[in-house]
Amino acid sequence: METTSGRFFRFEMIYRCFETDKKYLKESGQVEPGQILTVTGPSGSGKSTLLKILARLLKPQSGEVFWHDRNWHAFSPTDWRRGIQFVSQKPVVFPGLIKDNFRLPFTLKNQKEKADLSMDQVIEYMERTGLSVRMLTQEAKSMSGGEAARLALVRALIIEPEILLLDEPTAFLDHDSRIKTISLLNEWVKEKQRAIIVVSHQEDDLKYLDCQTVLTLPVRKAG
């Protein structure tokens, strides 16, 4: 994918070798407000690696990323992660009640200057992804994989980032929950100056996601 505008968010010639074999990632792309960039490709092409690099969880060996036309080195990791939220394929659930998992981001230093947690917003997002509000007082460890995946997504949404980086967000969901979650993402990305970059193997995701462009990663191998 060539970068023609990319004033909102773009990545240029991101390169990283994989540690276990001779495969490597080398890719460029962009996403604009109101858009969803779907990253596809065969196993081993580096889809999850690309998301982790964009989230600043992995360092590329070369390449640049720009957000609002500013190089990513101009942002502190804290500011970057406040505005660009990564949700892993394996959802992170913290000990305690489910409502405590939603409160946790707002107790961290990088969120203290922002508004307090809105439980009304939590409840709205829970209901829109098919989670019962009665779950708030449950132990988080009691959640199923699909419930934990939606908890992690809602926890990212309530921070109000500009960009979501989603790695297989519907992998653990049944059909109805998947449709509800995709509908929420379609509406969320259009509400403000927001964008989503999503990795998915689910054909239904590709059919139902709105305003999307597709970036297909090939398997690149040295030699």
Instruction: Report the range of poorest mean pLDDT among 106-110, 138-142, 174-178, 198-202.
Output: 106-110
Question: What are phi and psi for residue 145, nearest 5 degrees?
Answer: -60, -40
- In 1-158, which residue ranges form alpha helices assigned H by DSSP? 47-54, 77-83, 98-103, 119-128, 145-157
d(CA 140, CA 133): 13
Residues 6 or more apart from 62 whose CB is under 8 A from it? 13, 14, 15
Residue 24: which pLDDT band, with cuts at 50, 70 and 90?
very high
Question: Tokens representing 108?
Answer: 């961290």
Q: Where are the alpha helices (DSSP H) in the chain?
A: 47-54, 77-83, 98-103, 119-128, 145-157, 175-191, 203-208
Q: Is the pLDDT of residue 187 over 60?
A: yes
Question: How far apart are alpha carbons 19 and 202 in whole angstroms?
Answer: 27
Cβ neighbours of residue 203 closer than 8 Å, sequence gap 6 or more: none
Ordered by where they begin, the domains of the chain are 9-221 (3.40.50.300)
- The Cα 190–Cα 192 span in angstroms is 6
**5 pLDDT tier (thresholds 50, 70, 90):** low
pTM of the model: 0.91
Amino acid found at 116: D
As a whole number, mean pLDDT of residues 88-116 equals: 81
| pLDDT over 70 at 124, yes or no | yes
